Structures are given as C-alpha cells and as structure tokens.
Amino acid sequence: MTFSRTAAAATAACLLGACGATTPPVPTGAPELVSFSVADAPVENGKKLNASFTELRREPDHSVVRATVVSGGSVSSSMFILRGACLVLHARGARYVTVAPEPGASSDTFRLTFPAQAAPEPGGPGKGAFSAGDCRLLGFE
C-alpha cells in the first residue's frame, strides 16, 4: 500500500487535533500512565476515526497498552497507535520504542519495549524501532 506525503501530513495533523473532537493526552494515575482518545475525526477517504489508547501498565522494561479502534482507515488507525507509542516513549524519557502484540492478550493489546539503540543489523534487538526523533518529525510528542 502506498499513500502520499500529503495524505500522511493530513492524517498526522488530524491526529494532533487539527480536525474533529479529540481528548488530549492526559496522565492518569500513579506512574502517570498515558491515555487519550479521538472521536469523529475525519481521516482518509471520508472516514471518521474513533479510537482510544490507554497505557494499562508500566514496568521497568516495557509498557502494556490497549489501542481500540472503533472506526477509521488503516493509515489513520496505524498512525493513531504510533502516536500513542510516541507519547509513552516521551513520558518515559526513552530514545526508541518498538510495538508488538502482547503475548496471550486480546488483539488490541500491545507491548511497548524501549531498546537502548535501534538495530544496527536486520533482526537485531531494536528491529523496527521508532526513535524519539521520528516521533518529533511526525509531531507526536
């Protein structure tokens, strides 16, 4: 699947609150867990994004999050989850984040890990990591 930089920029702007009703990221509870949602945000192909992201648990080496997408496009849904991962990365003061399904959990539950560096070679630790710089570039801080 391909999509233009314009579509990506529009989706990113929308996820930043430039369209639709959004609930901004709000720390919830003790260790300041990340939680935010978006409602009826217009996204690609005339669709509306309705989704929530909640950091359920924060451990020293990982966070467990739930990302529930009720409606929206595939690009906007993926960007929404990436935005949540970036917000957790920022809250933890980490440099890199990876997203993977949480073993034994429902399909909307993910494990975020925070490698010390991105993989220098394919398949190494940190493979598929997004950096704090990537998050800043997208405006997801």
Identify the domain containing residue 87 by its residue range.
5-138
What integer pLDDT is reported at residue 44 of this predicted model? 84
Spell out the SS3 assignment of the chain. CCCCHHHHHHHHHHHHHHCCEEEEEEEECCCCEEEEEEEEEECHHHCEEEEEEEEEEECCCEEEEEEEEEECCHHHHHHHHHHHHHHHHHHHCCCEEEEEECCCCCCCEEEEECCCCCCCCCCCCCCCCEEHHHHHHHCCC
How confident is the model over 52-71, as a mean pLDDT?
Answer: 95
pLDDT in tens, 31-40: 689 999 999 9
Contacts of 106 (CB under 8 A, 6+ apart): 66
Q: How confident is the model at residue 27 (pLDDT cuts 50, 70, 90)?
A: very low
The domain total for the chain is: 1
User: pTM here?
Assistant: 0.75
pLDDT per residue over 65-119, tens digit each?
Answer: 999 999 888 888 999 999 999 999 999 999 999 999 999 999 999 999 999 887 6
Cα separations in angstroms, 90 against 11, 113, 130, 132: 21, 13, 12, 7
